[in-house]
Amino acid sequence: MKKLIVANWKMNPDSFSRAELLVRAVQKTAASSKNAKVVLCLPYPWLTDISHKKHKGLSFGAQNVFWENSGAYTGEVSPAMLKNSGVEYVIIGHSERRKWLGETDEMINKRVKAALKTGLKVILCVGEGIEIRKKGLSAAKKFVKNQLQKDLKNFPSSKLQALSSYLVIAYEPVWAIGTGKADKPEDTVEMAKFIKSLLAAKPYTLNPNVLYGGSVTFRNAGSLLQYKEINGALVGGASIKSKEFIKIIRAAG
């Protein structure tokens, strides 16, 4: 199965021409890769201009979405707007939004449901902070379980079944994001197995792909992606350096 290599550009770059250059730089490698499916999650101002045109080998994603499809919600972008612009994926619940925008699990739950209902594929981010991880992997699992239970609350299970392939979980330990200290692959594998078994059980009965995010570079990508339990990577800093990102795509095999 192909690995999902997702670029989270965050609030970069600062011009459309630079965004276009980045897209063009990675497209050829993405189109010729047999083992990677490449998704670029761009900031809104560049996203729809780029996503509404076909780019062979590339899929596009947003970094957030609102939970209503239209109405008086100043500054928000709806799932329908994204879907109608050729956007396939949306990242929801990133720790930077939880931290800087006061995003709660209740808000994330509403976003996830609305996005899936509209036919967007959701990359739901979960992960513990350093204070929890210091207590060990079991404490981290407990934290992640609690996030998942809240973020995926109240899904009618019959609907969930149909959405199984539309939900992707990104395990992003907060302490690993932007720090240069990625999680140990063996610990990530254990967390991925835990997430998969939690969501395989009732009431979810889901079989989601699980990605790892947090200081993924071309140096560590191969050692993470070699494991079947890790279905791909969510890449921040290294995704806006085209040469590095290309090497990460190649690391998928």
Peptide bond into 45 cis (omega under 30): no
Which member of 96, 103, 128, 172 is catalytic? Answer: 172
Active site (annotated) includes residue 131: no
Q: Kindly state whether residue 236 participates in binding ligand 13P, applying the rule CB under 6 A.
A: yes
Q: Kindly state whether residue 127 participates in binding ligand 13P, applying the rule CB under 6 A.
A: no
Q: Kindly state whether residue 234 participates in binding ligand 13P, applying the rule CB under 6 A.
A: yes
Q: Kindly state whether residue 177 participates in binding ligand 13P, applying the rule CB under 6 A.
A: yes
Whole-angstrom distance between the N-terminal and C-terminal Cα of the chain?
A: 11
CB 133 within 8 A of CB 184: no
> What binding mask, one character per residue, do residues 191-230 give for ligand 13P by CB under 6 A, x or -?
----------------------xxxx--------------
User: What's the token pair of residue 207?
Assistant: 């079989």
Q: How far is CA 212 from the centre of its chain?
A: 9
The one among 235, 240, 249, 252 contacting ligand 13P by CB under 6 A: 235
- Inter-CA distances, 189 with 63, 132, 210, Å: 25, 18, 10
Active site (annotated) includes residue 103: no
Which member of 55, 94, 96, 103 is catalytic? Answer: 94
Which residues does 232 contact at the CB level (< 8 Å), separation at least 6?
A: 3, 4, 5, 6, 36, 37, 168, 209, 211, 212, 225, 252
**Which residue has the closest beta carbon to ligand 13P?**
236
Residues that bind ligand 13P (CB under 6 A): 8, 94, 172, 177-178, 213-216, 234-238
User: Which residue numbers are catalytic?
Assistant: 94, 172
